[in-house]
Structure 1
């Protein structure tokens, strides 16, 4: 990837991340905790589609095991524009295994960035984690959406 493409990918993933965080934050305020993960997935997918984004739901993640290609077992909740992976949860507290799951998916799909969003957390800030695929040369950003920052 040349430096122009690398810069474009970086900018795109950051812009996409901000759009997703804005939508998820609005959902957290308006819907709140207590629903099934699949409901949050459907609503977020619809909101992102309304932003004219390409959204893939429940995409199979292939894995090579002992020379076999397996398309069963791993599924990404949402993939946005073939750049950003979104893994949703609806649990009281995230566990370390949830972050590891996102990192595994990022590596298997060779994607630069993932968001782990837990709609069961008490606050949105506690439930939103940004995970960077360290196997690629992408620049992490600590910035979240201006909308999100204004309310936290």
Structure 2
């Protein structure tokens, strides 16, 4: 019995992104600052031919007014997946809320939090809008 609600959103694209993130963790391990993983992911996304934009400013609105404050996710991949990198002990509800807000600001369907600070393996979560 097929359950259409159980289908993975952007399955092929998100698997490619996750593969690149796992490769960065395999090569670098944990313990570096987020900026190091940002740079490594740029190399790996390029190597694996994953389309991406790093540190793209997102415009926020309040009651039809554009705000001066901007959201800046670490990556937008395939023009529709937010990728947020962390280098912390664990992913928290604040990290989840951050990605959820990015999804609301963009109307993108999927966000991925990748935590390189977790040992002994990459910690990650998929956030669906």
Q: Provide the TM-score with structure 1 as the length reference.
A: 0.73
The runs of 5 or more residues in structure 2 that have no matched partner are 1-6
Question: Larger % of helix: which?
Answer: 1
Compared CA separation, residues 128 and 11, structure 1 to 2 (3 A) = closer
Return 5+ residue gaps in structure 1 as ranges: 1-9, 134-152
Aligned length: 123
Residue 29 of structure 1: CA displacement? 1.9
Task: Provide closer, same or farther for how the CA distance between residues 40 and 110 of structure 1 changes in structure 2, counting only shifts above 3 A.
Answer: same
Q: CA deviation at 1:34?
A: 1.2
Is 2:70 aligned against 1:70?
Answer: no
Find the partner of 2:124 among 120, 123, 128.
128
Per the TM alignment, residue 118 of structure 1 is displaced from its structure 2 partner at its CA by: 0.3
Root-mean-square deviation (CA), in Å? Answer: 1.9
CA contact (8 A) 1:28 1:119 kept: yes
**Structure in which a larger fraction of residues adopt strand:** 2
Q: Give the equivalent residue in structure 1 for 2:101.
A: 104
Give 1:80's match in structure 2, choosing from 77, 80, 89.
77
